[in-house]
A and B are shown apart, each in its own frame.
Chain A
Amino acid sequence: MTIAINILSILLIVTGLFLFLGASVGLVRLPDFYTRMHAAGMGDTLSALLVVLGFAVYQLHGFHDIRHDWPVLLVILKLLAICVFIMVTSPASTHALMDAGYEEGCEPLTKEGGNALKEDLARTRGEDTHDSEEDSLS
């Protein structure tokens, strides 16, 4: 039983660390700000989740009898709560960075016609200036 717990938790933690390695390599290799955010987001979600789950599995070592060892279950619940908090907050921060980057004029590296947001913004801003011109004429 202890061996099974050890193997499972080592497997989860090592997989998580490997994904973190992938995220770090992606952070260096990918070409621009936005694509690098994808790599960073990858590190945030699954790798952190797997490492924390590995900790939760490792906690089962202290669990033999529910009457004495129920605090272990509380620790596992707290670790799962960390997972939930990561899942809720990490996309919010990624999204905030992306939006701030776009607001600041950081151009995404896209192929020709691959940027729907830029086209739409140009169109609405063009319409806005057009309207104001008409207003000033009348």
Chain B
Amino acid sequence: MLYRVLIFCLLFGTWMVFSGIYDVFHLTLGVISAACVTWMSSDMLFEHRDFSLGQRIRQGVGLIGYLVWLLYQIVLSNIDVLKVVLFPGGMKDVEPSIVKFRTGLKSEFGKFLLANSITLTPGTVTVRIVGEDFYVHALNEKAAAGLNGEMERRIARVFEPDNAFDSLGSRHS
């Protein structure tokens, strides 16, 4: 029930931002649509319903912190790829390889976030995930060296705080 209220509030907030018209008629429409969507598909949004609201809020704050760090990484690797692409001698730095590493993340959402973050960072793209093995296409050695488990550790700190990370960074190409 708590999660249904949360989802309704999220949906109705989105409605209010996107509609921008605040009279009785449009707000009623918004309430009806948000309630319908909550009723039909509220089980699609959050995976683990046993988390308390405080944990969720902590996760949300952690996610924002992670996204800021990710944006910084994206800027850094954008500059790297731009150097490779625009400089006359840059093409000799292109040594593509498909790197395999094993993740310690357990949850589906954690793996999803890791794969998307790797793809968002220019120079590395997740090609395939088989179980816990990630196959990542890297543009060159420098981009592949960025897959050192730092990203994974940060995701685990936010979403899997009880996941002990010892044996990570066991990357082999």
Contact = CB atoms under 8 A, between A and B. Distances in A.
Interface residues of B, number: 37
B173 A114 contact: yes
- Number of contact residues on A: which range applies? 35 or more
Given A30-B94, A35-B96, A109-B96, A25 B86 contact: yes
Contacts of A35: 94, 96, 139
A116 B100 contact: yes
26 contacts: A23-B85, A34-B96, A35-B139, A41-B120, A42-B122, A46-B75, A46-B78, A46-B122, A74-B20, A88-B116, A91-B115, A91-B119, A91-B120, A95-B115, A95-B125, A98-B127, A99-B128, A109-B96, A110-B96, A114-B95, A114-B173, A115-B97, A116-B97, A116-B100, A117-B98, A117-B127
Contacts, number: 118
A110 B97 contact: yes
Interface in B70-113: 74-75, 78, 81-82, 84-86, 91, 94-100
